[in-house]
Amino acid sequence: MRKISQMIVDIVGGEGIHPPNIVIGGMRTNITERAKSKLYYGLRQYEKDAYDMYERYTEIIERYLEEIGIPDLGKHNYPYIATHTTYGDWTAIDWDNVVEIYPHRYYGDTKIANKTSVMIPLYNGVPCEGGPRARLAKFSNFKVGGSALDINIARAKENLGAVYRAFEILDELNIYGKTRADYEYKDGFGIGVHEAPRATNTHMVETGKDGKIKSYRIIAASTWNFPIVEKAIEGYHHQYAEVILRAYDI
């Protein structure tokens, strides 16, 4: 699955790491008919593997939780944050209720607060879980309130959702069409939201009329989940800390 995914990024983006074909306004170039056919072939194989992975994950996780006798391992009572199933929608969040606070304000005067430099994002005054389970909880009927390992099942289910969306995009794609929107530089402020694998990735940018950036702020995907992971681990034996932590891909 990873090999096929890398092949898709190589073809569409031009390179696997920091794809140069993705530019302001769209894509630098289109793909060829041959490349389109190759993507279809790869996605069909990916779909089979993704379904098999989902089935195996569900079985293995259910068996593991039964063996340790903790069906709600890593459970927490905090809300979820997500904006879209695949991409990102900045209008889905009330940005007046998003704040980042310093560790000292969140932890108090403790050793943790003195050692960390990670800002704590809050939505409506509380931490929120982002990522696969959050997206499926908000935009489908995925169960919530169970074990943190449900995140692994949600991530496997998202693989299937991604491949179905990829098929739709290929069906809609005009390989001879325009690949880049027209744009102009101007004074302004914008919020870009992308649903990354770990959670909601947010970029807040202010630019001048010359196109130069005046200010830039980021709330990285993992940052949303740091305080949630802490709460999910509390109350369990330390041997399960890594299990819960890795479910959040941190």
The model's pLDDT over 34-91, given as tens digits with 9 standing for 90+, comes to 999 999 999 999 999 999 999 999 999 999 999 999 999 999 999 999 999 989 999 9
- As to burial, measured by CB atoms within 10 angstroms (0-12 exposed, 13-18 middle, 19+ buried), residue 125 is exposed
| Mean of the per-residue pLDDT values of the chain | 93
Q: Which domain, by its residues, includes 202?
A: 2-247
**Count of the separate structural domains present in the chain:** 1
The CATH number given to whatever domain includes residue 72 is 1.10.645.10
Indicate if the alpha-carbon torsion angle 87, 90, 94, 98 is positive or negative.
Answer: positive
- Give pLDDT tens digits along the chain (250 positions): 999 999 999 999 999 888 999 998 999 999 999 999 999 999 999 999 999 999 999 999 999 999 999 999 999 999 999 999 989 999 999 999 999 998 888 888 777 777 777 889 999 999 999 999 999 999 998 888 789 999 999 999 999 999 999 999 999 999 999 999 998 888 999 999 999 999 999 999 999 998 899 999 999 999 999 999 999 999 999 999 999 999 999 8
